[in-house]
């Protein structure tokens, strides 16, 4: 049987398959939800998640679907902080006396029917959602909604273009703004195109990067709302307790009904580094989860990320859920600094053929790019060289590839609009990145040997 280190998963193949299955549903759902969502935005019952009051002094639990969640559920009634779950967990949490503070919806098939049977108005739970979920959830959710859009890192994607355009406001710009545009573009006011006299302001401004499954995005939205201590509960990415997933509860005819989820042997494909049965999809999700956490640490190295599960994630510090609830997530000492945790995650990613590239994108900001490669010495080196050849004009927006020479075209003339406004889309320090990559690969090989001898 394979281990997670010998397995290789192709994110592009998984992502493409997901797009093919879901995108048409998302497009239709967003259209059907348009009138209702705009009504809610107008009356204040829906707003961008960035406008939600922050939770800086609170800790948050992010709920996953692993069977270890069952051990935590009886304890969560005493938790006072945030609880972010999905529609899959919401009723079960209510059954155990721990109604979630937030229900997170991402999948276009998230429905109101999944959470029917209780009166959500008595709990004050808020729905965090995209506009493209199943229409019943938008139509019948009784409480406030916090909205965001998905980010695929592609400005031409449906989420960044059409969905953004659907949910925006249009304003007529002032005469002063018209004159400023004319001066900038060196055109006469009488020849100013009236179609350009409008500006568009997104009503759903916040974009959240997708990483294959819900838990990474749940962590992202927790951080967006200000939670600085985030505890994973039930994020096993493996078959703990010899089960497929947690026992979930629904309300039927006024009675709670349990739905057991026994392990299906045909689903078992491998063992994790700590010897737990798992599957290809679980380990693909784990790789994406850790990639997301590495991205978050790049944005905020002070955030505290902890697992309360004995699942496949051994790279995060572990704290027992009973202790977390007792302390309400506070006064818990860090066992790893943000940088130590980031380093450990990068080593794990290298062990499964995934690598991080760091780039300067201007205005003292850095970006991370994740690449999967069986031959990183060549493929990632070539990719970084190509990244340094990509330029964008900050006036007309033209994107151009420079010839493969040693000349730096920063600040040079744009070949389209002829203004000297070309800038690197991303500037990569190739030597620093290759040094980091080689170091991570060496440590990943050491880790594999250590696990093999256990």
DSSP string, 273-309: TTS-EE-HHHHHHHHHHHHHHHHHHHH-TT-EEEE--
Question: 183: domain range?
Answer: 168-202
**Cβ 352 vs Cβ 374: under 8 Å:** no
Residue 447 domain-assigned (yes or no):
no
Helices 11-32 and 280-299 sit at what angle, rounded to 10 degrees? Answer: 80
Q: How confident is the model at residue 14 (pLDDT cuts 50, 70, 90)?
A: low
The reply to whether 208 falls in a domain is yes
pLDDT per residue as tens digits for the range 65-118? 999 999 999 999 999 999 999 999 999 999 999 999 999 999 999 999 999 999
Greatest CA separation found in the chain? 78
Q: How confident is the model over 242-256, as pLDDT tens digits?
A: 999 999 999 998 999
Q: CA 72, CA 308: separation in Å to the nearest integer?
A: 9
Q: Which of 322, 351, 380 is the last residue of a domain?
A: 351
The pLDDT score that the predictor gives to residue 178 is 81
321 shares a domain with 300: yes
438 located within any domain: no
- Mention every residue, 6+ apart, whose C-beta is less than 8 A from residue 168: 200, 201, 202, 203
Residue after which a domain boundary falls, among 329, 351, 373: 351
Structure token pair of residue 392: 């964008």
Q: Please give the average per-residue pLDDT across 1-15, as a whole number.
A: 64
Which of 351, 368, 390 is the last residue in one of the domains?
351
pLDDT of 6: 67
Give 233's strand partners: 63
pLDDT of residue 415: 86
Q: Are residues 132 and 279 in the same domain?
A: yes
CA 260 to chain centroid: 29
Model confidence at 184, in pLDDT bands (50, 70, 90)?
confident
d(CA 94, CA 235): 19
Q: Do residues 41 and 127 both lie within one domain?
A: yes
| Domain-located, residue 243 | yes
Closest CA to 261 of 227, 283, 234, 284: 234
Residues 229 and 130 in one domain: yes
Q: Is residue 66 part of a domain?
A: yes
Residue 448 in any domain: the answer is no
| ∠ Cα 355 217 341 (to 5°) | 45
Cross-strand partners of 369: 357
Nearest Cα to Cα of residue 209 among 130, 149, 299: 149
Same structural domain, 196 and 217: no
Both 372 and 383 in a single domain? Answer: yes
Looking at the fold, whether 277 and 146 belong to one and the same domain comes out as yes
Same domain, 274 and 329: yes
- Hey, which of 35-39, 177-181, 395-399, 413-417 has the most confident mean pLDDT? 35-39
Torsion on CA atoms 129, 248, 240, 5, rounded to nearest 10:
-30
182 Rama class: left (phi>0) / alpha (psi -120 to 50) / beta: alpha
Q: Tens of pLDDT along 311-336?
A: 999 999 999 999 999 999 987 777 78
Query: Could you report the per-residue pLDDT of 168-180, keeping only the tens digit for each?
Result: 988 877 788 888 8
Q: Is residue 33 part of a domain?
A: yes
Tabulate helix, strand, coil % of the chain (nearest 5). Answer: 40, 20, 40
- Could you tell me if 330 and 420 lie in one domain? no
Burial of 186 (0-12, 13-18, 19+ CB in 10 A): exposed
Is 251 found in the same domain as 103?
yes
190 and 317 fall within a common domain: no
- What total number of domains does the chain contain? 3
Whether residues 60 and 147 fall in one domain: yes
Domain-located, residue 85:
yes
The beta strands (E) that lie in 317-430 are given as 354-360, 366-372, 390-393, 399-401, 422-424, 427-428
pLDDT digits (tens, 9 = 90+) for 269-278: 888 888 899 9
């Amino acid at each position: 049987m394979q281990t997670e280190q010998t397995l290789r998963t192709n994110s592009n193949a998984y992502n493409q398959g997901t797009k093919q299955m879901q995108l048409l549903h998302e497009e239709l759902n967003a259209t059907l939800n348009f009138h209702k969502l705009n009504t809610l935005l107008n009356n204040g019952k829906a707003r961008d998640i960035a406008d939600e009051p922050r939770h800086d002094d609170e800790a948050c639990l992010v709920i996953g679907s692993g069977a270890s969640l069952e051990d935590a559920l009886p304890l969560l009634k005493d938790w006072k902080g945030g609880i972010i779950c999905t529609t899959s967990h919401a009723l079960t949490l209510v059954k155990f006396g721990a109604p979630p503070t937030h229900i997170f919806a991402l999948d276009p098939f998230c429905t109101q029917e999944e959470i029917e049977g209780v009166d959500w108005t008595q709990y004050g739970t808020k729905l965090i959602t995209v506009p493209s979920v199943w229409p019943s959830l938008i139509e019948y959710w009784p409480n406030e909604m916090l909205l965001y859009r998905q980010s695929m890192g592609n400005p031409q994607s449906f989420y960044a273009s059409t969905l953004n355009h659907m949910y925006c406001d249009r304003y007529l710009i002032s005469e002063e703004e018209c004159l400023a545009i004319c001066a900038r573009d060196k055109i006469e006011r009488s020849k100013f195109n009236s179609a350009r006299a409008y500006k568009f302001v997104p009503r759903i401004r916040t974009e959240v990067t997708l990483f294959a499954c819900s838990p990474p995005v749940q962590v992202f939205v927790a951080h967006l709302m200000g939670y600085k201590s985030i505890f994973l509960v039930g994020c096993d990415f493996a078959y703990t307790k010899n089960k497929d997933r947690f026992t979930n509860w629904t309300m039927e005819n006024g009675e709670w009904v349990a739905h057991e989820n026994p392990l299906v042997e045909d689903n078992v494909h491998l063992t994790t580094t700590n010897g737990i049965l798992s599957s290809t999809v679980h380990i693909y999700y784990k790789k994406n989860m850790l990639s997301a956490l590495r991205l978050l640490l790049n944005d905020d190295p002070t955030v505290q990320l902890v697992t309360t599960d004995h699942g496949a994630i051994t790279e995060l510090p572990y704290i027992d859920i009973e202790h977390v609830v007792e302390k309400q997530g506070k006064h818990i000492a860090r066992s790893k600094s943000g940088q130590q945790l980031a380093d450990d995650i990068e080593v794990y990613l290298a062990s499964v053929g995934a690598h991080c590239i760091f780039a300067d994108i201007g205005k003292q900001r850095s970006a991370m790019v994740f690449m999967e490669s069986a031959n990183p010495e060549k493929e990632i080196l070539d990719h970084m060289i190509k990244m340094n050849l990509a330029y964008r004009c900050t006036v007309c927006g033209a994107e151009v590839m420079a010839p493969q020479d040693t000349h730096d075209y920063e600040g040079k003339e744009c070949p389209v609009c002829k203004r000297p406004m070309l800038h690197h889309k991303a500037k990569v320090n190739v030597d620093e990145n290759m040094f980091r990559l080689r170091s991570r690969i060496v440590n990943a090989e050491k880790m594999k040997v250590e696990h093999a001898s256990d």
